[in-house]
Amino acid sequence: MAATLVQEIAVASSDERTKPRAASADFDGLRPAVRAPVLIVEDDADLREMMAQLLQLEGFDAHTVANGREALDYLKDDGAPPRLILLDMMMPVMDGWEFRREQQRSPKLAEVPVIVLSALDQTRVGDIGAVAFLKKPLDFDRLLDLVRRYCG
């Protein structure tokens, strides 16, 4: 008699998907509860949510915003800065270049490492002082490796 394995996957409601959730505790006994805060600055809602869910599943405390202006507002309001910022470059309202200029002017935020995420070639992005560059479409394994390196 063949055994059947059924795996249930919980699907969040649309309201829950728009807000980043804190990662759950060490749910499988294999991953440490890292809880390092990571800010995702990305205007593509699907990609933003996918990255947040991936990081949360890996034990990181992912927060999301849709552009550089929202990122600066979030960073002003929050007490401690994130351990890492994942930054898209081409966004409405405030793009990644302008965000980086503002970030580097702030003593509180200037030291927060930034990983650039862009469909542009790295040469077109220029030297904005990022610790790493990932070309879109993203290699999520490489993304996780980089996040672990800078948040570990």
The model's pTM: 0.78
Amino acid identity, residue 30?
L
What pLDDT sits at residue 77?
Answer: 79
What pLDDT sits at residue 126?
Answer: 83
Question: 32-151 adopts what CATH topology?
Answer: Rossmann fold (3.40.50)
pLDDT in tens, 40-62: 999 999 999 999 999 999 999 99
What pLDDT sits at residue 79?
Answer: 77
Give the mean pLDDT of the chain.
82
The mean per-residue pLDDT over the stretch 69-92 comes to: 92
Taking the domains of the chain in order of start, what are their residue ranges?
A: 32-151
**If DSSP states are collapsed to H, E and C, what string results for 69-124?**
HHHHHHHHHCCCCCCEEEEECCCCCCCHHHHHHHHHHCCCCCCCCEEEEECCCHHH
